[in-house]
Structure 1
Amino acid sequence: MRKDKTIIEDIETFDDYKMESVWERTKLDMESTEGWLYLGADANNLTFAKVGLTMGDLSSRSYSSGNPNYYLFCAFKCRHDLSISELKSVESDILALLEDRYRYSDGTTKRKRFHESKSISECFYDVDFIDFFQTLHYEIYENHRRCFVLSCMDDGFGGTDGEFIDCLFSSTINDHHFYRKMIIQY
């Protein structure tokens, strides 16, 4: 999965320094191809989810040498000016929130550990993937939206239906609009 470089044309700010500042930040956020919190999936296991972070291009996270069925379902766009330590803190917080929510009936977590090292992974098993996707977006939106780029959904009549964290979906997913409607916040 790759985000093509977007060039946003300048707008007239009428020498308003506040408007100029907001516009420059928005432009840099929208043109950036780096800084993503992503949700990985398994084409053959609809109960698997992986949450990860990359400061670089998404294409390096689009595959797994150990699992040919792995792909990036979507990636949420981070603000262009966040430091790696800020993003790691956001990722850690979101993974902890998800770990608390996704548990077996006996209370053990659905977040897995690495076999040999026993360190905690970014992978969850036995989850409802669509619920996981919606919960991930909700946690980002409610607790960390200041670190991400927001987008609005056009209602077709010159207004908006709501907003969501700007996200890029895998090219293997045909109806991106369908999934965006699942995460829209009113």
Structure 2
Amino acid sequence: MKKKIISYERFDLFSRDDYKLEHVEQEAGRNFESLDKWLYLGADILDKNFAKIGMTMGDLASRSYSSTRPSYYLFCAFKFKHNISMQDVKRVENDVLLRIDCLHRNVDASSKRMIHYESGQLSECFYPVDFFDFYKDVHFEIYDRHRDSFVICGYENEFGMDDGEFVDCIFNSHQKNLHNEYIKIILQYN
């Protein structure tokens, strides 16, 4: 999964004498063009009950495959703001993992978060989960608790009207015809 480089179109709506507005526009452009800080949600095309949360400060393509699980792919990746530190990216990832772990429990209240067989360490993988409920919960935790660390986008419906907002994300290219449907699932309304 790779995001295409798209340039931010700068507008001359504001007087260049207003340094605060110019700074806001420059930050918006940097966030829009940023391609290297993501919190991603992985899935398995053969097992709809599997999910993985991870982060990367580099190329998403390196996170989109697994030699041990060939059916694994990146379902989506949520874009951090361009100027977030590595320490804050890790802090956000850990918080989201902990909160999602509390939400997705087995009937006996045990965790659905998987444990690495050999080391006994907690993994970033969850099983069994309802993937789309999991996706909505991950988005909500990011949107509700960490929105200042992520790029937030508005969504226009087919009539050109504002229809809510969501954390800027990209989806796997193999499901292009479903991207708008996936966004509608996570829209937050003001």
TM-score by length of 2: 0.96
Task: Give SS of 1:178's match.
Answer: helix
Task: Give SS of 2:164's match.
Answer: strand
Identify which of 29, 32, 37 aligns with 1:30: 32
1:176 aligned partner: 179
1:14 aligned partner: 15
1:106 aligned partner: 108
Distance, in Å, in 1 between the alignment partners of 2:107 and 2:119 is 26
Opposite residue 181 of structure 1, the aligned amino acid is: K
Distance, in Å, in 2 between the alignment partners of 1:119 and 1:157 is 49
* More deviation, 157-166/123-132: 157-166
**How far off its partner does 1:139 sit?**
0.5
* Structure 1: gaps (5+ residues): none
Aligned residues, how many?
Answer: 186
1:39 matches 2:41: yes
1:18-167 correspondence to structure 2 within 5 Å: 18-167=20-169
CA deviations on 1:38-66 (whole Å, 9 max, x unpaired) are: 00000000000000000001100010011
Distance, in Å, in 2 between the alignment partners of 1:113 and 1:156 is 44
Distance, in Å, in 2 between the alignment partners of 1:169 and 1:90 is 20
Distance, in Å, in 2 between the alignment partners of 1:32 and 1:17 is 22
TM-score by length of 1: 0.98
Task: Give SS of 1:175's match.
Answer: helix
**How far off its partner does 1:167 sit?**
0.6
Distance, in Å, in 2 between the alignment partners of 1:182 and 1:23 is 29
Distance, in Å, in 2 between the alignment partners of 1:133 and 1:64 is 20
Q: Identity of paired residues, percent?
A: 48
Task: Give SS of 1:172's match.
Answer: helix
Distance, in Å, in 2 between the alignment partners of 1:39 and 1:163 is 19
CA deviations on 1:125-177 (whole Å, 9 max, x unpaired) are: 01000000000000000000000001111134443111000010001113100
Distance, in Å, in 2 between the alignment partners of 1:156 and 1:19 is 30
**How far off its partner does 1:17 sit?**
1.3
* Structure 2: gaps (5+ residues): none
Opposite residue 4 of structure 2, the aligned amino acid is: D
Which stretches of structure 1, 4 residues or more, deviate above 4 A after TM superposition?
A: none
Opposite residue 6 of structure 1, the aligned amino acid is: I
